[in-house]
Structure 1
Amino acid sequence: MNLRIILIFSILLLSCQPDKKAANTIKLAHSLGVTHPVHKAMVHMAELVSKKSDETLKLEIYPSSQLGSEQQCLELLQIGSLGMTKVSAAVMENFSPDLKVLGYPYLFRNDEHRFKVYDGPIGEQLLAGSEKYWLKGLTYFDAGSRSFYTKSTPIESPEDLEGLKIRVMQSPTAIEMVKKFGGSPTPISWGELYTSLQQGVVDGAENNLPSFYSSKHYEVCKFLSMDEHTAIPDILVISTIIWDKLNDFEKTWILEAAREATVHQHKLWKEAEEEALNKVKQSGVQVFYPDKSRFEEKSESMFQALKEQDEHLYELAEKIKSVK
């Protein structure tokens, strides 16, 4: 190979590399506190992106609702004013209707079943479904199972929810579920919930263990009922407006870092669940383990109604249930 060919080859190779002088920064905003395992996983992802890109691509993280609620962050993504966010799949269903299926109670048999769905063809299909709304799902972060916690009375059966105002996310499915159980669903933003519990605007809420602990809601609500009605993941989302501006190298770094951060997050989540349960017990919270079958029976009518109202979504739920 003569010198000229080697020189041309070298120039072409260098031209394929991203410009190291101009670092590209993507803003990532979310509503969780800095001690939350999902936030820690995103910090880990930012470190991975920086390392993989030789610091030519960076993620700048804004936690604790600094740039708005989950809903507001998604809207900022849609116009390209914000790069990335982490939201619950329950909030995403307002933008990507098929994600509604993940909010149905007792959809998954166990954690192994859940992760097989997230990591398989159905999970990929659901992530891709939001792209027409300018929102690209990158990965699922484990958000465990959600249970009820209350101020004045434990929830040991669906009947105990009657007459209680229960905070839910801005999710039609979550609202319908609490109604089926007999409670009065009350959508309130996460940032306003602590004060709402203190002032009696609501009698309780439902969430996973780490969120119950990190939010300090256990200071107000001394009854935790582990009915584990839903297991709704968090989704890491990037604006398609921002995504389409990235080169192939940058896209690869982000996807690889997201996958690696997800594995790391699963480990952090298990540790956080154990810590949260121990800490809230130490603070005086009474933990109850009600008969889940009674809640499951109440929720069956939701699937029957879904079969009549949305055959596509019902079939999707059945596919999820059948994953082995």
Structure 2
Amino acid sequence: MGHALVPSHPVHEAMLFLAQRLEEKSNGQIIVKVYPNQQLGTERELVELLQIGSLGMTKVSSAALEGFAPTMKVLGMPYLFRDDEHLNKVLKGEIGKQLLQDPEEFWLRGLCYYDAGKRSFYTKEKPVESPEDLSGLKVRVMESAVASNMVKSMGGSPTPVAYGELYTALQQGIVDGAENNPPSLYTSKHYEVCKYYSIDEHTALPDVVIVSTKVWNSLSEQEQQWLQEAADESAELQYKIWAEATEESLNELKKAGVQISYPDKGPFREAVSSMYEDLKVQSPEIYQLVQAIRAIQ
């Protein structure tokens, strides 16, 4: 199991727990080795390794799956979820379950979601208090058409950079800022370069634990059940660790001299409203999913 985050990240701890539980459930028949920090490749490379069966499992942002399972795009739409309760209802309900299965035709099977909090902008030179402040700024985004369109809609210049190369890209001025959740900003040490964190919480993209269908199909029903149970248990733990890590990270960022602000979300919401109009025309299927998600009470 490979992933792109550092070993101190709460997601890594959850994956180690998954490996431990699977070993216990299978009486040592199934051993998972976890490789953090892009040791086995970038998020995109890890997904491609799963497709050919060279790697068993990975954890990626749902945004990284857009190119492999188009319906995943819906989770990256900005300001789609009303609050955490709404998000959790969607992920644990029929829509969430279906989205995990959609990548199967691309040799990928979603096992569970991990909490990846909410993403906000962090910058080097000035805080982002309104969409106008993004004008002229090169903002690092994941390899995601939705993330790129969002930054464009707000007036910034989206620049895809691999997560492991972002620190250097910020230092060298290849990008002026990025967007991510508090634990990622803290554990990546990007705050050493970016001293402004504007909590606009534009997206609530979950992480997805995925297994190669080549590996999944090689398991017996009993082994599949063990793996699914271990993944579900690791997700429960991860949600708890995540909440603690978010609070702790914000405290540590303040101590490190990062200026944290909470801009009015209204103008940001307004700036991206055109994305939903475009979706209606360009991707009616995804727009229907948006409507279904909004209807969940």
TM > 0.5 between the two? yes
Amino-acid identity (%): 56
2:28 corresponds to which of 55, 60, 64: 55
The one-character-per-residue Cα deviations of 1:142-179 (angstroms, maximum 9, x if unpaired) are 00000000000100000000000000000000000000
Residue 174 (structure 1) aligns with: 147
Structure 1 unaligned regions, length at least 5: 1-27
Determine the C-alpha separation between the residues in 1 that align with 2:124 and 2:84: 29
CA distance in structure 2 between the aligned counterparts of 1:132 and 1:37, rounded to whole angstroms = 30
Q: Deviation digits for residues 30-89 of structure 1, max 9, x if unmatched?
A: 001111111111111111101111111111111110000000011000000000000000
Equivalent residue, structure 2, for 1:24: none
- For the residue of structure 2 that corresponds to 1:301, the secondary structure is helix
1:262-277 correspondence runs (5 A)? 262-277=235-250
Matched residue SS, 2:243? helix
Could you tell me which of 102, 109, 117 is aligned with 1:144?
117
SS of 1:312's partner is helix
State the 1:285 CA deviation.
Answer: 0.2
68, 80, 88: which one aligns with 1:95? 68
Pick aligned residue for 2:100 from 114, 127, 130:
127
Q: Which amino acid aligns with 1:220?
A: V
Q: What does 1:1-324 correspond to in 2, within 5 Å? A: 28-324=1-297
- Tell me the CA shift for residue 318 of structure 1: 1.1
Q: 2-side partners of 1:35 and 1:319: how far apart?
A: 37
Letter in 2 for 1:284: G
TM-score, normalised to structure 2, is 0.99
Q: Which consecutive aligned stretches of 4+ in structure 1 deviate over 4 angstroms post-superposition?
A: none
Q: How many residues align?
A: 297
Partners in 1 of 2:89 and 2:82 — Cα distance? 11
TM-score (ref. length: structure 1) = 0.91
Partners of 2:42 and 2:285 in 1: CA distance:
30
Measured against aligned partners, the alpha-carbon deviations of 1:261-300 in whole angstroms (never above 9, x if no partner) come to: 1111100000000010000100000001000011001111
Q: Which amino acid aligns with 2:93?
A: G
Task: Write the letter of the residue equivalent to 1:95.
Answer: F
Is the radius of gyration larger for structure 1 or structure 2?
Answer: 1
